[in-house]
Homo-oligomer: A and B are copies of this chain.
Amino acid sequence: MKQEKQDKKELIFDALEELMVTVPYAEISVEAIAKKAGIGKGSIYYYFKSKDEILYEVIERSYRRITRDYFETIRNLPEMSAIEKIKRLFISTVKKEFSKTERNMLTELHILDDRDIHYKMKTIAIQEISPILTELLKEGVDEGSIRTQTPRESAEIIVAVMTLFLDETIFTDSPESVLNKLKILSNVLETCLCTEKGSFDFLFEPRTFS
């Protein structure tokens, strides 16, 4: 009953996701989605209130997948120190490793043009990744390698800043500027978390993201 309804929704999600690989959302008609999903246009509105609702839920689904991947990846590295794990988290975020694992992902090139989606994705990303980092910060506090009394708040700020950094639409910088900013950032992180000097130097070491 409830499951079948969810399955149908999933079918519609898949259709939209697939179309979005080649066509921007704004140019995809509800009829096209229905056709791709192999159902009638009217049925779409039986499951969703509006076209935008489909989009929003598709994005949410994608990000939940990404988050789940993050969690699993990091959980499966128990021999590492918290800071080492954080390093891994940053690197995989920057490199957008997830786009390899998750094939039908919204983060694919074409989509990035769409401002509306871009914004929503960022919001969700921040909301989803912060809890992971919060956990890692707490781990670090327990280990003694990190010191903060407000891990959640620190995590949210850090994720927000990191995300902003990746937004090339705002900062279209020279490589030199990027390097300068990464140096500032590593400094900020050290201060923010009272870690040992050099803990976040990997951010601006050239080989990190190659």
A-side residues, CB < 8 A to B, are: 115-116, 118-120, 123, 126-127, 150, 152-154, 156-157, 160-161, 164, 169-171, 177, 180-181, 183-185, 187-188, 191-192
**Is A177 a contact partner of B164 (Cβ separation < 8 A)?**
no
User: Using Cβ atoms and an 8 Å threshold, which residues of chain B touch A171?
Assistant: 156
Shortest beta-carbon distance, A196 to chain B, in Å? 15
Number of copies: 2
Task: State A157–B127 Cα separation when bound (angstroms).
Answer: 20
Given A150-B184, A187-B192, 9 other A-B residues pairs in contact with their CB atoms under 8 A: A115-B116, A116-B116, A127-B170, A153-B180, A160-B161, A160-B164, A187-B191, A188-B188, A188-B191
Nearest B residue to A193, CB-CB = B184
Can you identify 15 A-B contacts, CB atoms within 8 angstroms? Answer: A118-B119, A123-B169, A127-B170, A150-B177, A154-B184, A156-B171, A156-B181, A157-B184, A160-B161, A160-B164, A160-B170, A164-B164, A187-B191, A187-B192, A188-B191
Main secondary structure of the interface of A (DSSP, over half): helix
**Is A152 a contact partner of B127 (Cβ separation < 8 A)?**
no
User: Which of A116, A153, A157, A177 lies at the interface centre, i.e. has the most chain B CB atoms within 10 A of its CB?
Assistant: A153
Of B152, B156, B185, B191, the contact of A157 (CB 8 Å cutoff): B185
User: Using Cβ atoms and an 8 Å threshold, which residues of chain B touch A120?
Assistant: 115
User: Using Cβ atoms and an 8 Å threshold, which residues of chain B touch A127?
Assistant: 170
User: Using Cβ atoms and an 8 Å threshold, which residues of chain B touch A126?
Assistant: 170
Task: State A126–B123 Cα separation when bound (angstroms).
Answer: 17
Shortest beta-carbon distance, A50 to chain B, in Å? 12
Nearest B residue to A150, CB-CB = B180
Of B123, B177, B183, B187, the contact of A152 (CB 8 Å cutoff): B177
**Known A-B contacts A116-B115, A170-B160; A153 and B123 likewise in contact (beta carbons under 8 Å):** no
Shortest beta-carbon distance, A124 to chain B, in Å? 10
User: Using Cβ atoms and an 8 Å threshold, which residues of chain B touch A152?
Assistant: 177
Task: State A185–B158 Cα separation when bound (angstroms).
Answer: 11
User: Using Cβ atoms and an 8 Å threshold, which residues of chain B touch A183?
Assistant: 150
